[in-house]
Amino acid sequence: MAHLEGLRADSSQFTLRGQPFRILGGSIHYFRVPRPYWKDRLLKMKACGLNTLTTYVPWNLHEPERGAFNFQDQLDLRKAYVSLAAEIGFWVILRPGPYICAEWDLGGLPSWLLQDKDMQLRTTYPGFVNAVNVYFDKLVSVIQPLMFENGGPVIALQLENEYGSYAKDEEYMPFLKNCLRSRGINELLLTSDNWEGLRYKGMEGVLKTINLQRLSFGAIQHLACMQPQKPLLVMEYWSGWFDVWGEHHHVFHAEDMLGVVSEILERGVSVNLYMFHGGTNFGFMNGAMDFGAYKPQVTSYDYDAPLSEAGGYTKKYEVLRDLFSRYNAEPLPEVPSPQERKAYETVSTQQNLSLWDSIQFTEKPFRSERPINMENLPVNNNSGQSYGYTLYETSISSGGALNSGNNIRDRALVFLDKQYVGCLDYKTHEIMLPDAERERTLTFLVENCGRVNYGKALDNQRKGIVGDIVLNDTCISGFNIFCLDLKPSFIKRFDSFIYFFYLLSNLIFLLHYPHDWGKGVVFVNGQNLGRYWCIGPQHFLYLPGPYLRSGENQIIVFEEEKVGGKILFSENPEYGKTIDVYKLPFCSLL
């Protein structure tokens, strides 16, 4: 009987505990927010008048190596994150995937799946099904106590994400439904799709929901006609948008957002704000777009959301709090005090270590006649290399035309006898090497800039060198391959070379890199803050206070192109030139 009182979708309005219920939700991803800040962000969302927290669950973080699971510390979904949400007074909708999109590397799927050359992601291909079953065995054991019927806050779960836009296998979504039901999950199940994806047929006992930013095409009415006498939910109301390197920062003005959210609520529709607080793609976890052109996403996931990347209040927060207060029977909680931000004094770089000197800190190289892609390298307990850089080294005895045939994924700095000679990527497939009458060392430093997270290109996301490289029409062979995934264990080996800055107080900082830095990654006290790139739009990295310690702090910058002399700190982010997403045609965003 307890389950019958959970979230139900049996009429035109949701019911919870047998009473009418309106979902006023917001998305905050625990994996994009430092754990010490979870409570701050959730209290701020509660004070805005929301009653439901939604979060994705990233498979690639929870099972980074095949069969090795992590639900601890920053990834403590059950005991720390969802339980904290319940204490604060939220209901929870989990979005466990296995694919989540989320502008996250490979849409949250672990890269070791790609070791299988025949792998068919998001289908009932046996290799994918077997891996999903192992993952769901573990995941469900973790989340089962959180279900409403067990006294927990989880009132619904979403199957996969926007599968209607992909839809390659009619048996796949029923398989996922069975994955949860057969393991004892009895709460309401949802799917979510954008306008295009609504064409995909539904499943018995699974509620369709919609994702959108503007009320066009009669999308909500179309959903209502598809599911008569069912409640309506905008599962993702896009409060902003994400950015890609080399383009403008996307903004969505508060007035435009407010008009749409107001109309959604006036129609009696439930809504979830994606994102309420975006956070950060720390490390190498950003995804990428590819609709004919590969475009990696930036480190910041600010998303122009109601709460900024550093957790600050925005105008969107103010207008939404006023709006949602009208849909709450009780007065809203007081707004928590904003966290203090402070700029620290400029830090000068003290020591430099070349790429060639740093190779000594890597594991023994792997020898192969032909190039091996990252995922198939025999590292990380044979789960391959997931992220970072791979260095390929070989010998050549002539110059001429070096052609990648588009087999570089995604960007390679090319060196001849340790001297930089050019860059190969998706746009540049050929460079000329100078002639010489002796044998020389040819090196490729290849970066995985982020795997595509959405669309048909998802099927082709192996990284590193994925095929033959040709010099004067002859395939190059005989490679030494070094894994440079820049994991904490690797960074720790630089202890005798790092430089320090001294901190007086444990506040929030924005690490701002001036334009004399090129492209690279920043580590503070072993924490990977993410990528930077002088092409923008992002010209800073968010440095959370909990990553710092009183006294001595360590900074390591892995710089690919040019070493600047100083690192600056700022109180405010620099996002570069902006563009208003509401004035763009929707198709241009995808």
Q: What is the CATH number of the domain that holds 553?
A: 2.60.120.260
- Phi/psi at 258 (nearest 5 deg)? -60, -40
How far is 200 from 246, CA to CA, in rounded Å?
34
Residue 589 confidence class, pLDDT cut points 50, 70, 90: low
Instruction: Give the three-state DSSP class for 35.
Output: helix
For residue 67, tell me if it sits in a domain.
Answer: yes
Domain extent, residue 504, equals: 347-351+498-570
| Whether residue 514 has pLDDT greater than 60 | no
The answer to whether residue 236 is catalytic is: yes
The residue ranking higher by pLDDT, 245 or 585, is: 245
Which pLDDT value is given to residue 52? Answer: 99
Helical H segments across 475-552, by residue range: 488-491
Among 446-455, 482-491, 567-576, which is the least confidently predicted range? 567-576
- Phi/psi at 318 (nearest 5 deg)? -60, -45
Which pLDDT value is given to residue 82? Answer: 98
Residue 346's Cβ-side half-sphere holds a number of Cα atoms within 13 Å equal to 8
Residue 572 confidence class, pLDDT cut points 50, 70, 90: confident
Q: Please list the helix, strand and coil fractions of the chain in percent, rounded to the nearest 5, in that order.
A: 25, 30, 45
* Whether residue 506 is found in the same domain as residue 476: no
The residue ranking higher by pLDDT, 402 or 560, is: 402
What's the length of the chain? 590
How far is 79 from 75, CA to CA, in rounded Å?
10
Which pLDDT value is given to residue 508? Answer: 44
* Whether residue 444 is found in the same domain as residue 509: no
Which pLDDT value is given to residue 116? Answer: 98
Instruction: Give the three-state DSSP class for 100.
Output: coil
Of 63, 149, 187, 236, which one is the catalytic site residue? 236
Which pLDDT value is given to residue 218? Answer: 86
* Whether residue 466 is found in the same domain as residue 502: no
Residue 345 confidence class, pLDDT cut points 50, 70, 90: confident
Which pLDDT value is given to residue 137? Answer: 98
Looking at every residue in the chain, the average pLDDT score rounds to 92
* Whether residue 123 is found in the same domain as residue 236: yes
For residue 340, tell me if it sits in a domain.
Answer: no
- Among 147, 130, 127, 141, smallest CA distance to 69 is for 141
How far is 432 from 500, CA to CA, in rounded Å?
41
How far CA 12 is from CA of 1, 162, 265, in Å, comes to: 22, 23, 14
* Whether residue 45 is found in the same domain as residue 137: yes
Per-residue pLDDT tens over the stretch 65-121: 999 999 999 999 999 999 999 999 999 999 999 999 999 999 999 999 999 999 999
Of 162, 309, 375, 560, which one is the catalytic site residue? 162
| Whether residue 2 has pLDDT greater than 50 | no
Omega cis (within 30) before 45: no
Per-residue pLDDT tens over the stretch 350-387: 778 889 988 888 889 999 999 999 999 999 999 999 99
* Whether residue 23 is found in the same domain as residue 46: yes
CATH of residue 320: 3.20.20.80
Which pLDDT value is given to residue 278? Answer: 98
Per-residue pLDDT tens over the stretch 258-271: 999 999 999 999 99
The total domain count for the chain is 3
Q: Are strands 430-433 and 400-403 parallel, antiparallel or unpaired?
A: antiparallel
